[in-house]
Amino acid sequence: MSNKKPLLGILIALLLLIPLVLIGILMSLDFNQYKPQVVAQVEALTGRKLSIDGDLELSISLSPSIQVNGVSLANATWGSTGNMVSVGELAAQVALLPLLTGDVRVTRLVARQAEVVLERNAEGVANWQFSKAEPAEGDSSGASLPQVNNLLIESARIRYLPAGGEPVEFVIDQLDASADSLGSPLTLAFAGSYNGAPLSLDGELDSIAAVAGGGAIRFDLALGYGEQQGRLQGEGSVAEALSRITLDKVKFSRDQQQLNGSLMLDLAAQPLRLEGTLATETIDLRSEEKETDKSAGGKLFSASPLPLDGLKGLDADIRFSSKQLLANRYTLNDLNATLQLKGGVLTVKPLTLVAGGDSVTGSAVLNGSRRPASLTLRLAGKQVMLGTLLAGSGDEAPLQQGPARIDVDLKGQGDSVAALMGSLNGRLLISVGPGRINNRHLDLVGGDLLNQLFTALNPTAGKEPYTAMECAVVNLNFRNGVAEYDKQVAMLTKQMSIVSAGTIDLKNEQLDVGFKPMPRGDTKDLGITAGDLVNAARLKGPLSQPELGLDAKGTAKAGLKLYGAIATGGTSLLLEGLWDKATADSNPCQTALGGGGSGSSQSSKKQSGEEDGFMDKLKGVFGN
């Protein structure tokens, strides 16, 4: 027993001494003498010149690392820059024992302050496609580069420069990737940005060998882009040299929503080309609608620049469909759209959907190829049942029935939503047929503002649960974001005729419009007294929070032009109520459809000789 103890002590001492000896040997080595071998090996594998400006330095530990500053790999001879890759700081952590025998096993590679330029020439050749040099006979420099099990990249920028189109830029704040081998699943965590928008990836890709050399791939990634978060899963294949990525099965899920389909990205095309088909059961926007800032000066339209640069450098042809689109105040069905992107111009055509049981067709074109961008929007529907469309706004829709004709033809220019809205030109027409208004659920816009306005203009609204509507028309013509109208907004109910005039300014987000109610038939029969009637109402102020003003004395502070003609003498002869009754438009909806104060209904009267003169109005006052 006594002899064994010294032997054991000697063995332990040797085990402790070996690492110290190895470290001592490594410290005595000048690793800069290996620079030519490293350079020759890389050039043999890539056909490109490798430059190492700094000294190779050894950091001693149980897993020593070799560090160097100023490493660069030359670009292709036709490239736009001298270097394809430039790295400010590079460190390779290696296994200790194999290093002594010349076997370099890199357990971790760290790169910081890197610049990478990826590009294709006019013939579609990529600068990451290397031409390997043939090593000389007996030259060991032609050996394969060591396998890297873990890669850490910090503070790097990758720019993709297509032969045609705008550059694409990735910024890597941190990328941590690891795999047991080239054929093993790659686990990665990425945080950075894509063309300025925050981007994050976290998950698994199978495998890195397929991505680099072509083959089948599978992926399961948590994805974040901007403020959107979701999960991207799928499988497909990669062509050699990353020339094409085909995803036969791709699924993007977010909350309870799921988007399925197939995609093909052609990286060899000039510019890049994306094709695919995507479909989803439901698009639920209800949780995304945010409260508008209703403080003084709060804006409805964002002035933030649109990501128009993302339209450049990519051609696309995507067919998209959704069975249902849910919003807080409406529901759309069977949405189908073809999105085509070419030369910075995004075209959505054809665009079809079912709104209120009727088909609505349209198209949209966003031209981001020049500044300012331009937008053209067209929508048309002939028999949209608003009662069905608005059923998603609450337990009971604010309107029942109400077949509507919708005609939208608008154009605008600008690089933000605010600029586009402030430059709109064109027509917005909504013509609604017979329906029933739910007096207690008028909450479509402005909170309870619409309810207050309708109650003020229609005294029976507070007495009855419903108001029978015969028609309603909104016929607005915008010029540079402003709609000035006279009698082009109207509603006809069983009890009342309501007409409107004023100004809607989308550029400055201001509203100044007036409404004039008139009773139909005998007010007594309708249960309306003189005290119930409001001669004019006015909405004025910012679009985000207009103020409602009422005028019970008939002074028409709302700025209406509707009754300016009677100021020439009619009101001085007779009671204003009788005069209004006699001069009221018997069909305000038709007048609104015809263009309001200068509409077709008045023109037709002139042509037929039926225009009422002053004496005709007097006869009407006395019921003759």
Mean predicted confidence (pLDDT) in 3-10: 58
Give the SS3 label for residue 195.
Answer: coil
446 close to 464: Cβ distance less than 8 angstroms: no
Q: Does residue 191 register a pLDDT over 70?
A: yes
Q: Does residue 600 register a pLDDT over 50?
A: no
Distance CA 310, CA 544 (A): 30
Q: What is the pLDDT of residue 62?
A: 60
From 243-252, 367-376, 484-493, 581-590, the region with the lowest mean pLDDT: 581-590
Whether a cis peptide bond, with omega within 30° of 0, leads into 519 is no
pLDDT digits (tens, 9 = 90+) for 84-118: 999 999 988 877 666 556 566 778 889 999 999 99
How far CA 301 is from CA of 409, 421, 427, 542, in Å, comes to 20, 8, 19, 12
Mean predicted confidence (pLDDT) in 19-28: 52
pLDDT digits (tens, 9 = 90+) for 433-445: 998 887 766 554 4
336 versus 291: the higher-pLDDT residue is: 336
Q: What is the pLDDT of residue 558?
A: 37
Domains of the chain by residue range: 18-146
Q: Does residue 523 register a pLDDT over 60?
A: no
With the C-alpha atoms ordered 285, 286, 287, 288, is the resulting torsion angle positive or negative? positive
Q: What is the pLDDT of residue 168?
A: 80
Q: What average pLDDT does the chain have?
A: 77
Maximum mean pLDDT: which of 225-229, 256-260, 473-477: 473-477
- For the chain, how big is the Rg over CA atoms in Å? 37
Distance CA 476, CA 505 (A): 12
Q: Does residue 59 register a pLDDT over 50?
A: yes
Please report which confidence band the pLDDT of residue 296 belongs to, taking 50, 70 and 90 as the band edges: very low
pLDDT digits (tens, 9 = 90+) for 337-356: 999 999 889 999 999 999 98
Please report which confidence band the pLDDT of residue 485 belongs to, taking 50, 70 and 90 as the band edges: very high
Distance CA 310, CA 319 (A): 19
Q: Does residue 517 register a pLDDT over 60?
A: yes
Mean predicted confidence (pLDDT) in 503-517: 90
**pLDDT > 90: what percent of the chain?**
33
Q: Does residue 180 register a pLDDT over 90?
A: no
Residues 6+ positions from 174 with CB-CB distance below 8 Å: 152, 153, 154, 189, 190, 191, 192
From 182-191, 350-359, 516-525, 599-608, the region with the lowest mean pLDDT: 599-608
40 versus 255: the higher-pLDDT residue is: 40
Q: Does residue 554 register a pLDDT over 60?
A: no
Please report which confidence band the pLDDT of residue 201 belongs to, taking 50, 70 and 90 as the band edges: very high
Q: Where are the alpha helices (DSSP H) in 498-566?
A: none
Maximum mean pLDDT: which of 73-82, 164-173, 509-518: 73-82
Give the SS3 label for residue 350.
Answer: strand
Q: What is the pLDDT of residue 241?
A: 72
Please report which confidence band the pLDDT of residue 57 belongs to, taking 50, 70 and 90 as the band edges: confident
Distance CA 590, CA 363 (A): 28
Q: What is the pLDDT of residue 257?
A: 84
Q: Where are the alpha helices (DSSP H) in 58-143?
A: 96-100
Distance CA 159, CA 169 (A): 5
Q: Does residue 253 register a pLDDT over 70?
A: yes
242 close to 268: Cβ distance less than 8 angstroms: no
Q: What is the DSSP letter of 342?
A: E
From 173-182, 396-405, 601-610, the region with the lowest mean pLDDT: 601-610
Nearest alpha-carbon partner for 273 in 163, 369, 171: 163
**pLDDT > 70: what percent of the chain?**
70
Q: What is the pLDDT of residue 329?
A: 73
Q: Does residue 461 register a pLDDT over 70?
A: no
Nearest alpha-carbon partner for 523 in 430, 460, 446: 460
E strand segments, 144-243: 150-161, 168-178, 186-194, 197-206, 215-225, 228-238
Q: Does residue 27 register a pLDDT over 90?
A: no
Q: What is the pLDDT of residue 449?
A: 60
Mean predicted confidence (pLDDT) in 126-134: 74
Mean predicted confidence (pLDDT) in 406-433: 95
> How many Cα neighbours within 13 Å face the side chain of 280?
18
62 close to 19: Cβ distance less than 8 angstroms: yes
282 close to 299: Cβ distance less than 8 angstroms: no
Phi-psi region of 190 (alpha: psi -120 to 50; beta: other; left: phi over 0): beta
Q: Does residue 465 register a pLDDT over 60?
A: yes
Give strand pairing partners of 405: 431
Please report which confidence band the pLDDT of residue 565 belongs to, taking 50, 70 and 90 as the band edges: very low
Please report which confidence band the pLDDT of residue 375 belongs to, taking 50, 70 and 90 as the band edges: very high
Full 3-state SS string of 75-117: CCCCCCCCEEEEEEEEEEEECHHHHHCCCCCEEEEEEEEEEEE
Mean predicted confidence (pLDDT) in 444-455: 58
Q: Does residue 3 register a pLDDT over 70?
A: no
Distance CA 174, CA 179 (A): 17
Mean predicted confidence (pLDDT) in 591-609: 56
Mean predicted confidence (pLDDT) in 542-560: 62
Q: What is the pLDDT of residue 527?
A: 54
